[in-house]
Copies of this chain bind each other. A is one copy, B any other.
């Protein structure tokens, strides 16, 4: 039979934030090609006898280069396999799904993309941050904190403009560089923000404070999970954690009462 590849968004990490379409794809696939951001709880929803291939990327060590993943997907499809390429969040939001789709198209392999709940939405829902708000945030901007040849290559002039909620994926290791770029463009580093680790999963941890406070305390607070930064007036609309603060919800500095 002809092979078929589905690029599937696994959502932010909780197994029940998979879509029904993604669940069905997992149940039908012969092979699951996945990376580090996909938790075991999601992988367990695949067919028991499906082959699992880990092609995870860590921050600095690329286990399998992107070229290799593209080739793997094409080869598996040519063997007639039904393949799910499972990616954390959504395949077309910082997932390099576009490169995989292009490779499949060039090779003439039938494929489709199954969208997923991207991390920013999963984090915000759980933390109670309205990403858009008629009064405070009429624009929602997503960027990645990954560097490009060692440089955090972002358009800080655009990101520093008011009236937006900014979500920085994988933003922990470059938080200092982001802060510098933003204040250079006139951004107020007293803007409320939140660092969210393992967002959208049962293990979500939150650190809330101004951008300046998060830069000061974030490194000590962070564990080894992926971290998303949300910045903007909308963060100030999230409910404050109860006192005493839990390990999961912490505030640095003194938040303004809303």
Chain A residues packing against B (C-beta within 8 Å): 9, 11-12, 14-21, 23-24, 90-99, 101-102, 105, 112-118, 121-122, 124-126, 128-134, 138-144, 148, 153-155, 157-159, 161-164, 200, 234, 237, 239
Kindly report how many copies of this chain are found in the complex they form together: 2
What would 10 more interface pairs be, CB under 8 Å, given A93-B132, A105-B239? A9-B121, A17-B19, A92-B124, A99-B133, A112-B125, A113-B125, A113-B128, A115-B200, A116-B121, A140-B141
Contacts of A12 in B (CB 8 A): 115
Closest to A66 in B: B134
Task: For the complex, give the distance between the alpha carbons of A138 and B145 in Å.
Answer: 10
Contact pick for A17, options B21, B92, B99, CB 8 Å = B21
Residues on B with beta carbons closer than 8 Å to the beta carbon of A153 = 138
Nearest B-chain residue to A169, judged by Cβ: B132
Interface pair A94/B161, CB less than 8 Å apart:
no
Question: Would you give the shortest CB distance from A123 to chain B, in whole angstroms?
Answer: 9
Bound together, the chains give a CA A176 to CA B16 distance in angstroms of: 41
Distance A210 CA – B239 CA, assembled complex (angstroms)? 43
What residues of B have a CB within 8 angstroms of the CB of A140 in the complex? Answer: 93, 141-143
Q: Is B121 a contact partner of A139 (Cβ separation < 8 A)?
A: no
With A21-B17, A126-B113 as known contacts, state yes or no: A138 contacts B144, CB within 8 Å.
Answer: yes
Is A138 a contact of B121 with CB atoms below 8 Å?
A: no
**Docked-complex contact A142 and B143, CB < 8 angstroms:** no
Which residues of chain B are within 8 angstroms of A138 by Cβ–Cβ distance?
Answer: 143-144, 153-155
Is A115 within 8 A of B105, CB to CB? no
Bound complex: CA A112 to CA B14 (Å): 15
Q: Are A237 and B102 in contact (CB under 8 A)?
A: yes
Can you report 11 residue pairs joining A to B where beta carbons are below 8 Å apart? Answer: A90-B121, A91-B125, A92-B121, A93-B132, A98-B130, A98-B132, A99-B130, A105-B239, A113-B124, A113-B126, A115-B121
What residues of chain B lie closer than 8 Å to A157, measured between beta carbons? 161
Interface pair A131/B20, CB less than 8 Å apart: no
Chain B hits for A117, CB < 8 A = 9, 19, 90, 115-117
Are A20 and B24 in contact, CB atoms less than 8 angstroms apart?
no
Q: Tell me the bound Cα distance from A116 to B17 in angstroms.
A: 8
- In the complex formed, the residue of B with least CB distance to A89 is B121
